[in-house]
């Protein structure tokens, strides 16, 4: 009996060892294939000044994706492919960009027959991006070119730091400066995210990585390729979350103004010449529903309107001076503020700590 058990265990061990070896070979081939499509992106802002990051090829005719902040205000963009025998660089042009999602579409300035055959597929199906899935990051962290790190998806529905419109993946694959714009791939070799930033609180050495989610990337690339821009709707209102503490503060600052319990979002800073005022919204209005759907927080409103076209009207239910009021509100185009972007990048460069703030404007 013991002999049969020993034989069975040995057979299982040999079978498992064979499967593991096959999977390891497949895993190594996947990394090698993906690495060939990843590039170093060096952007020159002015003579002698610039920065670098990562990018990756998404088509056989030389289109690349990277983070917009990597190539922001650049005059010359150069890229290097993984080729130790031929380490020359190529120039690239910025075709279009989506600064809201921190994405830029580049095109290589070379003949198609000089390009590598390898490019990466974008996974735009959100159902195939699940918490717990294994992920691989390839990039040039801290100047260590073509570094591969591995981890898992920790959360698949995080808001981006500076935009309530963009969803990101939180993951555990170690990334750092230089990884920006690089691919986060799954075990099928598909891009499920673009590594964009890392949270490194003071006093800690292990960061938490964030990547622009694949479905956001897919829609953005599709729009940039077709129209040269990614158009998003906006309400043009500054909103604040309502909580026990914010209600107390708002009541103290605005005596006589009624604020309901901790549901809904409150509009602030609405001026008479603003889009919001012309649409019928006033400061201190509390939005509690949109087209009959409850609004308990800013994410409820944004998740609803972000899929609607510019120019469409939505019906807002607001509480104004303790009375429910209906407001028909037309969505406007979300505009990009270049000066704000410059200021934001400057603040990021001068800080060691990058906390994730609560989004407040829509």
DSSP result, 147-216: EEEEEEEEEEEEEPSS-TT-EEEEE-S---TT-TT-EEE-TTS-EEEEEEEEE--TT----EEEEEEHHH
- Residue 50 falls in which region: left (phi positive, over 0), alpha (psi -120 to 50) or beta: left
Q: How many helices (H) and strands (E) does the chain have?
A: 7, 20
**Could you give all domains of the chain from N- to C-terminal order, each with its CATH number?**
126-227 (2.40.10.10), 233-333 (2.30.42.10)
Residues facing residue 361 across a β-bridge:
238
In tens digits, the chain (362 residues) has pLDDT values of 545 545 544 445 444 445 477 777 778 888 988 999 999 999 998 766 778 999 999 998 899 999 999 998 899 999 998 875 667 788 999 999 999 999 999 999 877 667 667 899 999 999 999 999 999 999 998 889 899 999 999 999 998 877 888 999 999 999 998 999 999 999 999 999 999 988 887 766 567 899 999 999 999 999 999 999 999 999 999 898 877 667 677 776 777 676 776 678 999 889 999 999 999 999 989 999 999 999 988 889 999 999 999 999 999 999 898 889 999 999 999 988 777 777 766 766 654 444 333 334 56
pTM: 0.84
SS3 103: strand
Measured at the alpha carbon of residue 330, what is the angle toward residues 326 and 335, in degrees to the nearest 5? 135
SS3 361: strand
Cα–Cα distance measured from residue 93 to residue 72, given in angstroms and rounded to the nearest whole number? 12
Count CB atoms within 10 A of the CB of residue 100.
21
Count CB atoms within 10 A of the CB of residue 8.
10
Count CB atoms within 10 A of the CB of residue 18.
10
> What are the catalytic residues?
69, 102, 180
Strands (E), 200-283: 208-213, 233-234, 238-241, 265-268
């Amino acid at each position: 009996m013991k002999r049969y058990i020993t034989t069975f265990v040995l057979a299982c061990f040999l079978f498992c060892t064979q499967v593991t070896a096959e999977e390891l070979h497949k895993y190594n081939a996947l990394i090698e294939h993906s690495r060939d499509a990843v590039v170093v992106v060096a952007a020159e802002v002015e003579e002698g000044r610039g920065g670098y990051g990562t990018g990756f090829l998404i088509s056989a005719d030389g289109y690349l994706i990277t983070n917009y902040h990597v190539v922001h205000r650049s005059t010359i963009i150069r890229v290097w492919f993984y080729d130790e025998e031929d380490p020359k660089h190529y120039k690239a042009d910025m075709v279009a960009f989506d600064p809201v999602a921190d994405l830029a579409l580049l095109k290589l300035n070379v003949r198609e027959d000089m390009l590598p055959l390898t490019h990466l597929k974008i996974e735009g199906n959100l159902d195939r991006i699940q918490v717990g899935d294994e992920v691989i990051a390839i990039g040039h962290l801290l100047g260590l070119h073509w570094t591969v790190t591995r981890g898992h998806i920790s959360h698949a529905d995080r808001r981006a730091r500076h935009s309530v419109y963009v969803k990101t993946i939180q993951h555990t694959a170690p990334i750092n400066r230089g990884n920006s714009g690089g691919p986060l791939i799954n075990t099928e070799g598909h891009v499920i995210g673009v590594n964009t930033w890392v949270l490194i609180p003071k006093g800690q050495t292990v960061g938490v990585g964030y990547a622009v989610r694949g479905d956001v990337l897919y829609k953005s690339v599709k729009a940039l390729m077709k129209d040269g821009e990614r158009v998003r709707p906006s309400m043009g209102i500054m909103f604040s979350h309502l909580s026990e503490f914010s209600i107390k503060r708002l009541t103290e600052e605005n005596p006589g103004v009624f604020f309901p319990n901790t549901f809904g979002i409150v509009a602030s800073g609405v001026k008479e010449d603003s889009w919001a005022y012309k649409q019928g919204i006033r400061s201190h209005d509390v939005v509690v529903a949109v087209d009959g759907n409850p609004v308990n927080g800013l994410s409820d409103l944004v998740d609803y309107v972000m899929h609607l076209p510019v120019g469409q009207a939505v019906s807002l239910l607001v509480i104004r001076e303790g009375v429910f009021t209906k407001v028909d509100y037309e969505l406007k185009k979300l505009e990009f503020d270049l000066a704000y972007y410059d200021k934001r990048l400057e603040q990021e460069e001068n800080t060691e700590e990058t906390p994730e703030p609560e989004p407040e404007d829509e």
